[in-house]
Structure 1
Amino acid sequence: MSKQAMSKPGSPQAASHQQAFDEPLWWGLFSAGGVCFAVLLPAVILFIGVLLPLGLLPADALSYERATALLFSVPGFLFVGAVVCLPLFHAAHRLRHGLFDISVGRDGFNKKLMYGAAALLSMLALGLVVAGMLS
């Protein structure tokens, strides 16, 4: 028994299009990105954008030396992965399905474009952290 995926009912594609085997992967990344976006990003904004400028945190809490030491480490790598990379895949999934809903482009192309852009930007962000760790 095969399920229909990403094809409008009654369209010519609906009869021949099989469900993509990679769809659970994209939904998993979408879910993880949404959780990280909803939980971690507000905390980052609170600490860096509100508490630090108001002087409610020690001034040296995010000095340049301390911030670079934290960012260019294994915990910094994981932090960038959770705060930057996972929300990128969340946004890519939303954009892909949004484009499908308004019938813009072909789903195969949109899928490659959105997830490819998220992957490239993720590799760039994590590559910068790794480059900082090695220098």
Structure 2
Amino acid sequence: MKTNFSVDRAPKRSDEPIWWGLFGAGGTWFAMITPVTILVLGVLAPLGIINAEALSYERVADFSTSIIGALFIIGTLALPMWHAMHRVHHGMHDLKFHTGIVGKVACYAFAGLISALSVIFIFMV
């Protein structure tokens, strides 16, 4: 049986894998890390279940200036923003707001700005 399917030997390059990768990383971070962070900092610490000295200014400052702490803070700020802006970009399309390349650039530029500001903020401290 003969088929009429042909393979495109020179497919057009797409930038979508980059955005989908950041979308997936941001969604995973937001689903797995953010709830634990909220639980520890927003519930357990104020209720006194976690010792107040564990979250003293000196310890938090030491953590945030370590490489692991800096990456944690940058990830907490940047990755969910990439996820959200990817959702906004595709959500506008789903709602029939076809902004084209301008909307795409605006969404991803905003996520990039937040990412850059988080890096600047961490390394300026």
TM-score of the pair, normalised by structure 2: 0.87
- Equivalent positions of 1:1-135 (< 5 A) are 21-132=14-125
Supply the distance in 2 between the matched residues of 1:105 and 1:124 (Cα, whole angstroms): 29
Aligned length: 117
Structure ID, larger Rg: 2
Q: Distance in 2 between matches of 1:107 and 1:74?
A: 38
Answer yes or no: is the 8 Å Cα contact 1:76–1:129 preserved in 2: no
Name the stretch that deviates more: 81-90 or 102-111: 102-111
CA distance in 2, matches of 1:77, 1:118: 18
Note the residue ranges of structure 1 that are not aligned, 5 or more in a row: 3-17
2: CA distance, partners of 1:127 / 1:73: 15
Consecutive aligned runs of 4 or more in structure 1 exceeding 6 Å deviation = none
Identity fraction in percent = 41
Structure 2 unmatched runs, 5+: 1-6
Aligned residues: CA RMSD: 1.6
Q: Which amino acid aligns with 2:122?
A: V
Aligned-pair distance for 1:89?
A: 0.2
Once residues 102 and 118 of structure 1 are traced to their aligned partners in structure 2, the CA distance between those partners, rounded to angstroms, is 21
- Larger RCO (alpha carbons 8 Å, 6+ apart): 2
